[in-house]
Amino acid sequence: MESIIDLMKKSAKIESNDTLAGILKNKSREIPKSNSSPPEYFFLTSVCDPYKEYIIQKFPENNFEKLSEKDFIVGRKLHSFADRWFKGMDEFVSSESILDGFYLGIKAKGRIDARIGNSIVELKTKHVLPQTAEEILLLNGRDIEQLAFYTVLDPLRPKINFLVFMTQNLPYQFKVFKLEVKDHDKIEEILKKRINNLRGVLFGKNDPLTLGKCRYCFLECNIKKSGKCNPELLKDIGCEVKDYITLFEDLSFKDELEKSIKSLSGNFDFYSIFNILAPRKFFNKHIKDLEDTPYTSNFEEQQNQDYFDHLIYNLDLFKLDKMDLKDIPEPVIDKIYFPKKSWLKIRDLGDPKGKIIPFIAHSSPSKYNRVLQSPSDYKVAELGISLLIHGKTKGLILMFYPNLENQFKVFEVTFNFDPICKQRINEIIKILEDKNNDNFKKLPECPSYIHKDCAYKKECSN
């Protein structure tokens, strides 16, 4: 089967748009990128359990015993299920999104489970569901703090957010609590104070006892057995943000979530563009249920992408009003997801009122000047699919090259789609939907850049 990437490449006409590239360059002068090395920072989960982080840093040779490796695997798989369920909700925006405090002056970053509308959603799997807000405040203060801290890492500072608790065994049961933030500034103060104290302890300036007891202190802990921790000397932290939030059960969100679960009925409601361009990887991971290579992000590359995203969404060009959003067409292939935030209104002398078109934006770590001439075949295909599924033929690829003197390029791509493009996409979706292992080799190979570290090399070559 000829790959979608090759088909899209044949269909594309690519031109540079120096006007838009110049607008991005001018905006970058208003919002300069830091050229300093990445600051010391903590993952937000570490800040929510500071004494545990201290022990991990101080005694790296003594790993904490996992309470249950099985629980860890089950929890990871349930988060994968929940990712699908959240995507099926009406106001789904994104999942597994990074929040980085770099541009807010907060030395912490984290990855949220989902964003529904303007709200952050955090999922927690439990053997036994908490029943009341009071019980969560008493026993699950870490979970509340994590969600509250996320809201101050988010430049939008969402007021209404959701904490979803889920059982680890079938039949899955849920409890959903709405977390309403009353004072973001106070929560930010607590977060910064905790980060500074943890840094002070790790640099030997502060007393480790000020960090408080581990949030999940348990009897058989090997650190405790070794005598490197004396929990009797440590105080329970409690939920330090409790005075600045309100927490109460939310049945409407729970109903929407259960409706999404029911509608999926064992099938993927939709696929990402990456799933279509790398269908064998998707098949191995989600249908054959084979273990994938763990994802590790590069801090500097992620920082550059965050900067580029921040730059783009600070341009009036990319700010669509409610009427503009109504002009975004419904997909003609409704099994593929493309976010509504990835559209802009472009104006020119030929069309001063403007038209709504999709775009993709990418920060490239390349150090080779030849990449400035044209976007990669993969990016062309990514844009092509986003256009095809919405019945459009023209879109933009926005590129940032931090290792090439912080240059910006905008490529205007017009497609003359061969009918086989749509047919090929539908064939891939059908194979993924049928879940028949006999059809695996009918899927096109994944893009070449995936091959190097792919966990499924042997599976594909057999």
Over the stretch 80-106, which tens digit does the pLDDT of each residue have? 667 778 887 878 888 878 888 877 889
Residue of 380 and 33 predicted with greater confidence = 380
Q: What is the pLDDT of residues 377-393, one digit of tens each?
A: 999 999 999 999 999 99
- Closest-CA residue to 49 (of 151, 180, 145, 161): 145
Residue of 303 and 251 predicted with greater confidence = 251
Predicted local distance difference test score (pLDDT) of residue 69: 39
Lowest-confidence region among 141-155, 263-277, 356-370: 263-277
Say if residue 198's pLDDT is above 70. Answer: yes
Axis crossing angle, helix 377-388 with helix 4-11, rounded to the nearest 10 = 80
Q: What is the pLDDT of residues 318-345, one digit of tens each?
A: 677 777 777 788 888 878 877 666 888 8
Lowest-confidence region among 273-287, 317-331, 394-408: 317-331
Q: What is the C-alpha to C-alpha distance for residues 237 and 138, in angstroms, rounded to an integer? A: 11
Predicted local distance difference test score (pLDDT) of residue 393: 94
Predicted local distance difference test score (pLDDT) of residue 32: 62
Q: What is the C-alpha to C-alpha distance for residues 412 and 24, in angstroms, rounded to an integer? A: 15
Domain with CATH 3.90.320 in the chain: 42-267
Q: Find the DSSP H helices in 271-418.
A: 273-277, 279-282, 299-312, 322-326, 377-388
Q: What is the C-alpha to C-alpha distance for residues 459 and 461, in angstroms, rounded to an integer? A: 6
439: left (phi over 0), alpha (psi -120 to 50) or beta: alpha
Predicted local distance difference test score (pLDDT) of residue 264: 58
CATH topology of domain 42-267: Lambda Exonuclease; Chain A (3.90.320)
Longest Cα–Cα distance in the chain: 75
Lowest-confidence region among 10-19, 37-46, 138-147: 37-46
Say if residue 72's pLDDT is above 60. Answer: no
In this structure, are strands 351-363 and 394-401 parallel, antiparallel, or unpaired? Answer: parallel
Lowest-confidence region among 245-249, 260-264, 269-273: 260-264
Predicted local distance difference test score (pLDDT) of residue 67: 40
Identify the top-confidence range among 18-32, 172-186, 201-215, 439-453.
172-186
Query: Which pTM was predicted?
Result: 0.59
Lowest-confidence region among 66-70, 187-191, 248-252, 429-433: 66-70
Instruction: Please tell me whether the peptide bond between 171 and the residue prior to it is cis, using omega within 30 degrees of 0.
Output: yes
